[in-house]
Amino acid sequence: MNAFDVLGDPVRRRILELLAEGERRSGDIVEDIQQEFGITQAAVSQHLRVLRDSGFANVKIDKQRRIYSLDARLLQEVDDWLDRFRSFWEPKLGALETEIARGKKTRKD
């Protein structure tokens, strides 16, 4: 599943938003998502699997808990893809200004 397909699902986007605030136990995520979307624990778990498999999230096992955290690399790739469209909405800046400001990886880090 490509990054955009993963992001296509509102539940997964919400999970990523939650993870943007920090690590979270699977159960907590399940709770939040059930509140908002009314789906089962199994369904949430499957979304978490997609996020793991696609590279958007990492898991740490702590006894019988699973601690999920965000892996932002694919989101950054999305951000990079958007570069070619930015001229449509960003004011034109000097090259240096832009580079400084956007923290562009001039050297692929």
Partner DNA sequence: TGTTTATACAAGTTTACACTTATATAATTT
Partner DNA sequence: AAATTATATAAGTGTAAACTTGTATAAACA
Residues of this chain that bind its own copies (CB under 8 A):
2, 4-5, 7-10, 13, 16-17, 20, 70, 72-73, 75-76, 78-79, 81-82, 84-86, 88-91, 93, 97-98, 100-103
Question: How many positions of this chain bind DNA (CB under 7 A)?
Answer: 28
Q: Are 48 and 71 in contact (CB under 8 A)?
A: no
How far apart (Å, rounded) are the C-alpha atoms in residues 41 and 30? Answer: 6
* 46 is a site residue for DNA (CB under 7 A): yes
**Token pair in block for residue 54:** 């696609």
Shortest Å, Cβ 102 to DNA:
31
Shortest Å, Cβ 28 to DNA:
7
3-class SS of residue 71: coil
- Name the residue with tokens 């908002």: 36
Q: Which of residues 23-42 bind DNA (CB under 7 A)?
A: 25-28, 30, 37-42
How far apart (Å, rounded) are the C-alpha atoms in residues 72 and 34? Answer: 24
